[in-house]
Amino acid sequence: MELFKIDRPDTTIVEALQDKIDNLTKPKGSLGMLEKIALQIGLIQQTLQPALHHPVNVIYASDHGIADEGVSQSPKEVTRQVVYNFMNGGAGICFLSRQHGFELKIVDGGVDFDFPPTPQIINRKIRKGTRNFLHEAAMTTEEMNLAINYGADIVTDCYNEGCNVISFGEMGVGNTAASSMWMTCLTRIPLFDCVGAGSGLNSEGVKHKCKVLEQALENYQGNGTAEDIIRYFGGYEMVMAVGGMLRAAELKMIILVDGFIMTNCVLAASKLYPEMLPYCLFGHCGDEAGHKRILDYLQATPLLSLGLRLGEGTGAVCAYPIVDSAVRMINEMDSFKKASITKYF
């Protein structure tokens, strides 16, 4: 596996950042989460004047072998159909990206379809979908390493194009099932508490999904390490996101985290490199069962709670204006001294 050099942000600057925030023309702490976000971003960027440049949302897409077991409401062909919807600008993430000024990058990491060559899709197809982890490992070690590398390299491209704030999305029928497996194996939270409706299963569908995943757990013969869990149960798009997050942390970029699947990608990435967590801002808490539990496990405070469960990066991009407001606060508000206002706390 590719090695990353990720350092926790140097906390020497925290005192100066907090002092600047506390001396803006407002009661101390009165802008709540905006103050905490500004402090985190200033810490990441090691400056009292943080800035956001060229935001990008990267969507990794791939199919999952486990989808053959009926663990999703959606048939497998929906993956390629939704990718075309991304390309045509008609998906949820498309209007949000337009609204908030995000560049959208679409990556084919393993969709079970041959897209014609087009500049709208970055072709990093490893295989036409993962294997069915009910019976065998979803991917080989070589494929996992390739997915990590591909995901990381795309983030390097974003960075070289001027991006310093990045979010990740996903498309792949069956990926809530894979995420549930990562969650239960990497946290020891009971599987039942990790499994939800995904794209719309009813109660009987959720029971069937849980039964299939329980059997997959019983069948697993790996060594139980984080790396093996990631390989055995993951999707190519998920592992690419892990690689992307690790490279973003290495480059000291701000990582905006989306929903259940991407939060589990943060979980997986942090099991490999715990130092990556300070670079993450969690966009929202969604309605997928298990999302709040995994956020609590990571001791993460989400910015929004809007009942979202679409994926694609929508919750992360939707939260971006709050992050922008935090940066504007620390840069554009006057201090008591500059405004000649008596400090009133």
Nearest 5°: the CA angle 308, 72, 309 is 5
- How many Å apart are CA 17 and CA 161, to the nearest integer? 28
Q: How far is CA 135 from CA 60, 132, 178, 236, in A?
A: 25, 6, 14, 17
**93: helix, coil or strand?**
helix
Nearest 5°: the CA angle 64, 94, 230 is 30
Q: Which residues are CB-neighbours of 328 under 8 A, at least 6 positions away?
A: none
- How many Å apart are CA 103 and CA 281, to the nearest integer? 19
CB half-sphere exposure, 57, CA atoms < 13 A: 33
What are the tokens at 14? 């925290």
Q: Write the DSSP string, 126-178.
A: -SSS---TTTS-SS-HHHHHHHHHHHHHHHHHHHHTT--EEEEEEE-TTHHHH
Of the candidates 196, 212, 192, the residue with the CA atom closest to the CA atom of residue 263? 196
- Active-site residues: which are they? 312
| φ/ψ (deg, to 5) at 62 | -165, 155
The answer to whether 254 and 315 are in contact (CB under 8 A) is no
- Check residue 24 and report its DSSP letter: B
| φ/ψ (deg, to 5) at 75 | -70, 160
Residue 74 CB neighbour total at 10 angstroms: 16
Cβ neighbourhood burial of 18 (10 Å; 0-12, 13-18, 19+): middle
